[in-house]
Amino acid sequence: MTASSLTSERQWTLLTVSWLVALVSTLGALFFSDVMDLEPCVLCWYQRIAMFPLVLILGAGAYTQDASSVKYALPLAIAGWLVAFYHCLLYGGFIPATLQPCGKGESCSAQKLELVGFITIPLLSLIAFSIIVLLLLAAKKDSKQ
Residue 108 is predicted with a pLDDT of 60
Residue 27 is predicted with a pLDDT of 95
Q: Are 37 and 89 in contact, with CB atoms under 8 Å apart? A: no
Residue 114, H or E segment:
strand 114-115
Q: Which CATH class is domain 3-144?
A: mainly alpha
User: Does pLDDT of 78 surpass 60?
Assistant: yes
pTM of the model: 0.84
- Rounded Cα distance, 24 and 28, in Å: 6
User: Does pLDDT of 145 surpass 60?
Assistant: no
Where do the structural domains in the chain lie, given as residue ranges? Answer: 3-144
Q: Are 145 and 27 in contact, with CB atoms under 8 Å apart? A: no
> In terms of Cα–Cα distance, which of 130, 129, 110 is closest to 120?
110
